[in-house]
Chains A and B, each alone.
Chain A
Amino acid sequence: MWRALVGDIRSPGSSESRLFAVAVRFGLLAKLVTVGLCTVLGVVATTGSARTAIAVIGSSLVVWLLLRLRGLPDAIALCGDVALAALVGLSAFWLGPPTVISWGARVAFLCAVVAHYDWPRSARAAWAVSFAAIGGYAAGTVAVGPLPEALGLTALLTIHTALARVVFVVLRATARAVDHAHERIAEQQRQAAVATARRLAEREALATLHDTACTTLMMVSTGAAQSDASWLPARARRDLDALRRRTEITGVVDLADMLHEAEFDHRVRLAAGISGPLPTSARAASAILYGVREAVVNVAQHAGTDVARLRAGRTGDTVWVELVDNGRGFDPAQLPARHRGIADSIQGRCAMAGATATVRSAPGRGTTIRWEVDAAGSDAPARPPNNLARFIKERMFDGYRAGLLCVVLTELVVACVKQIADGGMGGFAAWALLAVVGAGLSVSMVTGRPIAGPLRRLGLVAIGAASVVITPAVPDDPVLLGTHWYVGLVGWFVIVLLLDLPLPVIGVVLAAHAGWLMALVAVHGGSAQDLAAVGLVPVGVTGFQFAVAAALVLIRRSATEAAQLAERDEAMRREAAVAAHTHADHTRRYAELSREAVPLLTGLADGTLDPNSEETRTRCAIEAARMRVLFAERDAADDTLIHELRAAIDVAERRGLTVHLAVRGKPLAIPRDVRRTLIQAVLNGVLTARTSARITVLRTGTHVRLSSYCDDAVHTAGPPPSHPDVDISTDTEGGALWVQATWPPTPARPPARTSTTAPPETPEAPGRTARTETAAGRSAERSLSP
């Protein structure tokens, strides 16, 4: 608390700096207007040297404030503020005792109190100005007036200054809390946005991979290029482009153009009927185009026909594309999960891009796939409701009202002390009424229940009643009236009660109160001078209160704008974070592809690899299977290892291999990179087989061992994958190829058993002929015969 009251402050957040900006501007303006009016009234109300002093000091203060509004260096502004505050305080020397005219008291009060809003960034500067005003005032009044009264007035000024500081600290704490809360929310939103974007980009990338490289490599591996390989280089180049491109798609494109320019599977003759232009979001167009491409490949591979019809057009705000074939059709409900072309590329990707894809097919009845998306321009996405502005408004409003309530309650206590000194039943009754309203406001604040409707009217009636009840007790002497507790207190009550209403309503009520005070003096038949002196009271007190209310209302009203600004800043930060992450992901994915897929496709594109050589086909199969495992990783499966392994085996079976899979033991939680390595290791073995292979998975409670064994390997596969936690060993003997992969690595075997437990050995085979390669190099050596 002490630090908050006197210490300098850190760099402010957005709500906080907005509070500061408004505080400085309204502090200066309130001071300027109030001092100006008070000075005019003071000059009217006085004569002689007092009038001269008021005119000189008042006008120099006004000029100074105008200068400050135009902007001055901090050091000069502070020196001037301190000097003028001291001068205002010392004005009592020329004005006489404070009871004669209240100009000095009013203006000193303004200087001391408003300093804390003038200097929001530096508590020291604020206190320097305040103490100059208070000190000057104390010196002036003590010098010219009766001592007890001078001390009382100085104490009152000090209390008000301290109160102003407390209110400022509460306001600042509120703004900071709002900033913190906002930052927290924004941080969570940013993380969520990054996670979502990464997931979407990952899906997009995998779908692209499936449609491009994986399909091409599968085709090469199954010998699709045997009769005619002319289509292959162009397709491989297109795939390479697709893999290199970042999946970051924005803007509007003409889908009709894209469909015209697109290359589809050469095996299908497409009868196209496309009526453009078809403006769609680039994202949706890209999703649909990829989907059509994949669907045409499906026609070539599964439909048993080489003719299809592609139509596209626009109906109202909907752009649609339709691919129809009269092939053998299928039952969409019976599609095996491993054949994921339809599921992912066509429908899943469309859903991501805001389009829909529907597949209608039945055995023997052909297949119709229809894509639909809103035409660009008609699909302005509705912005999600911006809760931030409301959040800031509510939080700040509560905080400000709490600050003002502090003022009210403190003033209430001060009033009680004064009332006891004054005596009089009317005063006590009015105080009691206001105390009840104050209690009501406090309860509302603590319980968080707003005061509105009948309750608010009841409060206003109670304040009005207090004003009526106290009338006989209110002094008609302007000087005494100016220092009566009732005058300042009622205004604060009105503001706290009405703070969430429009500013004019607050202004009217405060003005009515000021008019009431003027009327009280007027009915007692005061002179023009008296009226001017009385005018100082509503101008000095109520005017200041109105300025405070105006500042708070302004801050509240600008919350929406501030929230939008904050949201825009945040959106930029979010985009930057998303871009950074997705770019890193893309780089990582491309690096993975660069190991095998990219060299393979490059070789197929420039003709340096023979697509019909056994080695190329095997490499293609291995890489396609690796990709299949990536796709399978996204499925929810009970036994992830086996699910992913089956996806890889599927590729081998499509090449015509017979694969026997035997699994023993219960599923084990295995990290994803380890699963990839294990599967990749045995896959390298299986895909080199000529006719058949055996894959086994053996899981004990702690270890998992994958093995592939074939006795008719065509040739050795490429280098096995490596992973620090996976032991991979490869044995070749004659035509047999045996790959074992174990996770985690088994510790080095204990030395051979003692002869008593050894079984009767038959003579050793003469020397080992097996060639053994080990990967990952960890404890992979096997103990030889005992």
Chain B
Amino acid sequence: MIDDHPAVAAGIQAWYAASDPPIRVVASGSTAQTAWLPPGRDADVVVLDLLLAPEHPECYGDLRRLADAGRRVIVYTMREDEQVALTCLELGAFTFLTKAEGQQHLVDATIAAAHDRPYIAPALAGAFAADTKSHRPQLSAREQEVLIEWFQCESKQAVARRIGITPNTVGTYLDRVRVKYANVGRPAPTKAALVVRAIQDGIITLEEL
């Protein structure tokens, strides 16, 4: 866990301890060193606070190096804007969460990451929905609709009711979007693992990619 604010680190540790199944924090520190040296070297998931400030020019670099080494990185940040989110995913981050999204999303995302499963929180869904870049993956109308509504209401039940599908199906649509994003742009081992797992789980087929 890489965060330069001790209170945040302590809070996350408490959330993890209370989760089911419990998550163990093997190491915590304020720089990326924590993830490269033991005991952090063996962690399944890295939670990285992205401090995009003039005094931290190395942040994207840290993320890229970790992703290239096959580490599953969850970017957990104060930043809200979609460009940061999309850049992090492009570099190979497993998922992107804003600190405002809080406990449940972080716990769920960490468990999903440990199993190479996709996870899209509402903030990231909004970033995908607002993405107008040319190399954006091709999304179906329904996938786009689910993205938007998940961003708007933060409740899979509400989205499901509104569209007339089940909450699980909502989750499936979101996962498909995540996998499609993993399949475009710069290759990274984490992205490959995500895609492989998604095909194994039957979320998406090779032909669809």
Contacts and interface: CB of A to CB of B under 8 A. Distances in A.
Interface of A: 660, 662-665, 694, 696, 698-701, 705, 707, 709, 711, 731, 733, 736, 738, 740, 749-750, 753, 757, 759-765, 768-770, 782, 784-786
A731 B132 contact: no
B176 to A, nearest CB: 6
Contacts of B55: none
B196 interface: no
B168 interface: yes
Given A696-B126, A709-B152, A759-B172, A753 B142 contact: yes
A731 B162 contact: yes
A765 B156 CA distance: 13
Contacts of A663: 80
Given A664-B127, A757-B140, A770-B161, A698 B148 contact: yes
B128 to A, nearest CB: 9
Nearest to A695: B152
Contact of A761 (B100, B126, B151, B165): B165
A768 B141 contact: no
Contact of B151 (A664, A759, A765): A664
Contacts of A760: 172, 202
A698 B166 contact: no
A698 B152 contact: yes
Contacts of A709: 152-155, 158
Contacts, number: 101
7 contacts: A660-B100, A662-B80, A662-B151, A738-B152, A765-B161, A784-B164, A785-B165
Nearest to B141: A749
B106 to A, nearest CB: 17
Contacts of B166: 761-765
- Most chain-A Cβ atoms within 10 A of its Cβ — which of B152, B160, B163? B152
A665 B129 CA distance: 9
Nearest to A752: B142
Interface in B128-145: 129-130, 132, 140-142, 145
B129 A694 contact: no
A694 B154 contact: yes
Interface string B172-192: 110010000000000000000
A759 B160 contact: no
A119 to B, nearest CB: 75
Contacts of A770: 161-162
Contacts of A786: 142
Contact of B169 (A705, A711, A733, A759): A759
Contacts of A705: 148, 152
B120 interface: no
Interface string B195-209: 000000011100010
Contacts of B44: none
Return the 6 tightest CB-CB contacts between A and B, nearest first. A665-B130, A707-B152, A664-B130, A664-B126, A709-B153, A762-B168
A664 B161 contact: no
B123 interface: yes
Interface of A is mostly: loop
B4 interface: no
Nearest to B176: A759
B82 interface: yes
A568 B72 CA distance: 82
Given A694-B154, A759-B173, A782-B162, A700 B129 contact: yes
Contact of A782 (B127, B151, B153, B163): B163
Contacts of A664: 81-82, 126-127, 129-130, 151
A749 B82 CA distance: 26
A764 B164 contact: yes
A733 B163 CA distance: 13
B130 A699 contact: yes
Contacts of B80: 662-663
- Most chain-A Cβ atoms within 10 A of its Cβ — which of B81, B132, B161, B202? B161
A357 B154 CA distance: 49
- Most chain-B Cβ atoms within 10 A of its Cβ — which of A733, A762, A784? A762
A473 to B, nearest CB: 94
Interface of B is mostly: helix
A696 B202 contact: no
Nearest to B161: A770
Given A663-B80, A664-B151, A738-B153, 4 more contacts: A662-B123, A731-B162, A765-B165, A785-B164
Contacts of B164: 764-765, 768, 782, 784-785
Contacts of A759: 169, 172-173, 176, 203-204
B76 to A, nearest CB: 16
A753 B140 contact: yes
B153 A765 contact: no
B161 A740 contact: no
Contacts of A665: 82, 130, 132
Contacts of B158: 709, 731, 733, 736, 738
A740 B132 CA distance: 21
Contacts of A761: 165-166, 169
A594 to B, nearest CB: 33
Nearest to B152: A707
Interface string B67-92: 00000000000001110000000000
A759 B141 CA distance: 13
Contacts of A762: 166, 168-169
Nearest to B131: A700
- Most chain-A Cβ atoms within 10 A of its Cβ — which of B165, B173, B202? B165
A393 to B, nearest CB: 63
A769 B160 CA distance: 11
B150 to A, nearest CB: 10
Interface in B79-126: 80-82, 100, 122-123, 126
- Most chain-B Cβ atoms within 10 A of its Cβ — which of A665, A711, A740, A750? A665
Nearest to A742: B148
A711 B155 contact: yes
B135 to A, nearest CB: 15
Contacts of A696: 126, 151-152
A701 B132 CA distance: 7
Nearest to A663: B80
Interface in B33-62: none
Nearest to B122: A662
B137 to A, nearest CB: 14
Contacts of A764: 164-166
Nearest to B129: A698
A766 to B, nearest CB: 11
A701 B130 CA distance: 8
Contacts of B123: 662
Contacts of B208: 757
B190 to A, nearest CB: 23
Contact of B126 (A698, A765, A782): A698
A768 B162 CA distance: 8
A660 B129 CA distance: 19
- Most chain-B Cβ atoms within 10 A of its Cβ — which of A662, A736, A770? A662
B165 to A, nearest CB: 5
A765 B151 CA distance: 22
Nearest to A761: B169
A567 B164 CA distance: 71
B89 to A, nearest CB: 14
Contacts of B100: 660
Contacts of B154: 694, 709
B130 A698 contact: yes
Contacts of A700: 129-130, 132
B153 A694 contact: yes
Nearest to A694: B154
A79 to B, nearest CB: 85
A763 B164 CA distance: 11
Contacts of B161: 731, 733, 765, 768-770
A511 B161 CA distance: 107
A762 B164 CA distance: 12
Contacts of B152: 694, 696, 698, 705, 707, 709, 738, 740
Contacts of A785: 163-165
